[in-house]
Structure 1
Amino acid sequence: MLTELTHEQMDRYCTRIGVPRKGAPDLDRLAAFQRGHVHSFTWEVLDAFMGWPNAIDPAAAFDKMIDGTRGGWCYEMNGLLGAALSAAGYQVTRLCGGVRRAELGDAVVGNHLTLRVDLDQPWLVEGGLGDAPVRPIPLAIGDHRDGYHDFGIEAADTDWLRFRNHRFGAAPSFDFKADYADEPQLAAQQAWLMADDGSPFRNNLVVMRHFDGRIESIVNRARRTVTVSGMATQAMTSADDLAAALGGVFGLQVPDVAAVWAKVETLPKGEFE
């Protein structure tokens, strides 16, 4: 598995996210990497939703997200970000987490990849939750505010920690341990999420991206915009609406949008649609 980007890849990545190629591996630069990454790439699960090929290796994420003008989910978003940070001189640990472990238990462990970066202290760097913070937060129990949303890390059971998302977050929380890295478990859950009919991403189209002052998202037929004032929702009613959103605000080049919309149309309508 690719652990850090090559020199040529790093040049292209830094150009894409608007961060200078050279600089000291300090906290300010770390924050610039995270913010640039989540503002430059869209979080999306189109591969799982449509049954298209998907790989957990950051090298594949680079090809897809840089060359293919696509986004990715946690394995790709945090995978690519972690490989870039390693190439920039940071000490990065890929942590094995579980979204909604608070509700669903240990069966979900590995359904989320998050990152620990060690500087003067350990920092949680989260570019793969879709609507999580745009800056590093101390990997310690406490409350944090990122621009206009409140987040937190709290104690869970035994030695697990729980990241608490903001009130409009698509995922309310994920659990992790500060030193728990388990690549086989991440790979197993990635494969399950891609293929099993019980996977939430096989049954829901979810797309999210950060912008200054707002988070834009698609959940099946609904377009959402979250700001400091709250959440506004707009219905999409056609493949043209979906194509305009994916290619416009989310900047994705998606093959066969008509097929994506056709599958969306088979889904039962949810709370916000």
Structure 2
Amino acid sequence: MWSGEELDLDAYLARIGYSGELAPDLRTLRALHRAHVGAIPFENLDVALGRRIPLDVKSVQAKLVGRRRGGYCYEQNSLFAAALERIGFEVAGRGARNRSRGDALTAITHALLVVTVGGEQWLADTGFGWQGPLEPVPLVDGARVDQDGWVFGVVAEAEGVHLLRSLRPEGWADLYSFAPHSVYPVDFELMNHYSSSHPLSRFVGQVVALRPGSEARRALVRTGLTSVNRDGTTEERTVGPAELIGVLAEVFGIELDAEEAAGLVRVQSAEV
């Protein structure tokens, strides 16, 4: 389903810095998930440049592994699913509605994974950016997990829908909700087309780079760079065109070629 046989697993493991044992068990799943989100940043830079976003394993691997770039949810979770499938995990896709922006009903545009280990389901999502979990979250109503001081919870809603939440100083905040039916790589392609090309997509025409972390979570959206610390304090500043490429490299670990850098500076200049 996820073309795991086409993945260069050794190259992927080297990219995320993982050298432990490999088995389709919970220990491996947790370790791989944490290593992946720690090494490969969330970014939409090809979308901002007006490029097509291919989701086949060879293309995603060439970009996120070979070129040491990042990607957004469809790329990240396609790569992670291929790696998990190759190792022997049972992996299914899900499509989610983003609920982090208030009460408005949003379309299903976020892609995540559900991994079954020992008969139990775990939410695995390496592609939700700075607000996402560091490790898998048990897909059980009322589940609550503390990941280095960042707390996530799952709530069951009507019609089998599950809601992922995070605990903030002001209380629980909704992240996204998803139904129990599976989605497939072809569905990722459809969501990817909307997110990468539709004029109402929040990824089109602007720079977005996001990164979770144990101590702090960071987001660059347009010209605004925000850091949220584990204690709840927030730092914000503006990133102008002259420092954009340096911030992408130093804060998010994104390596760009000269053509990409010049194009992104032009995009950023239009925001100032």
The TM tier, using the shorter chain, reads: 0.7 to 0.9
Q: Specify the code of the residue in structure 2 equivalent to 1:34.
A: H
Whether the 8 Å contact between 1:2 and 1:59 is mirrored in structure 2 is no
Whether the 8 Å contact between 2:4 and 2:86 is mirrored in structure 1 is yes
Worse overlay, 38-47 or 95-104: 95-104
> Partner residue of 1:158?
159
How many Å separate the matches in 1 of 2:25 and 2:185?
A: 27
Count of paired positions:
262
Q: Residue 104 of structure 1: CA displacement?
A: 4.3
Whether the 8 Å contact between 2:6 and 2:58 is mirrored in structure 1 is no
> Partner residue of 1:191?
193
Q: Specify the code of the residue in structure 1 equivalent to 2:234.
A: M
User: RMSD of aligned C-alpha atoms?
Assistant: 2.4
> Partner residue of 1:206?
208
Is 1:12 aligned with 2:11?
Answer: yes
Taking structure 1 as the reference length, the TM-score comes to: 0.86
SS state at 1:94 partner: strand
Per-residue deviation, residues 231-260 of structure 1 (Å, max 9, x unmatched): 2112212x2311111122222122432332
Structure 1 residue runs without a partner (length 5+) = 269-273
How many Å separate the matches in 2 of 1:176 and 1:243?
A: 35
**Runs of 4+ with >6 A deviation:** none
> Partner residue of 1:113?
111
Whether the 8 Å contact between 2:4 and 2:85 is mirrored in structure 1 is yes
> Partner residue of 2:264?
260
Q: Residue 130 of structure 1: CA displacement?
A: 0.6
How many Å separate the matches in 1 of 2:135 and 2:35?
A: 10
How many Å separate the matches in 1 of 2:187 and 2:23?
A: 33
How many Å separate the matches in 1 of 2:25 and 2:177?
A: 26
CA separation of 1:157 and 1:51: change in aligned 2, threshold 3 A: farther
SS state at 2:18 partner: coil
CA separation of 1:6 and 1:187: change in aligned 2, threshold 3 A: closer
Q: Residue 20 of structure 1: CA displacement?
A: 2.5
Whether the 8 Å contact between 2:67 and 2:255 is mirrored in structure 1 is yes
Q: Percent identity, aligned pairs only?
A: 25
Q: Residue 43 of structure 1: CA displacement?
A: 0.3
Is 1:244 aligned with 2:246?
Answer: yes
> Partner residue of 2:150?
149
How many Å separate the matches in 2 of 1:141 and 1:58?
A: 33
Is 1:51 aligned with 2:39?
Answer: no
Q: Residue 165 of structure 1: CA displacement?
A: 3.7
Q: Specify the code of the residue in structure 2 equivalent to 1:156.
A: E
SS state at 1:211 partner: coil
> Partner residue of 1:271?
none
How many Å separate the matches in 2 of 1:194 and 1:24?
A: 35
Q: How does 1:195-234 map to 2 (within 5 A)?
A: 195-229=197-231, 230-234=233-237
Whether the 8 Å contact between 1:203 and 1:267 is mirrored in structure 2 is no
Structure 2 residue runs without a partner (length 5+) = none
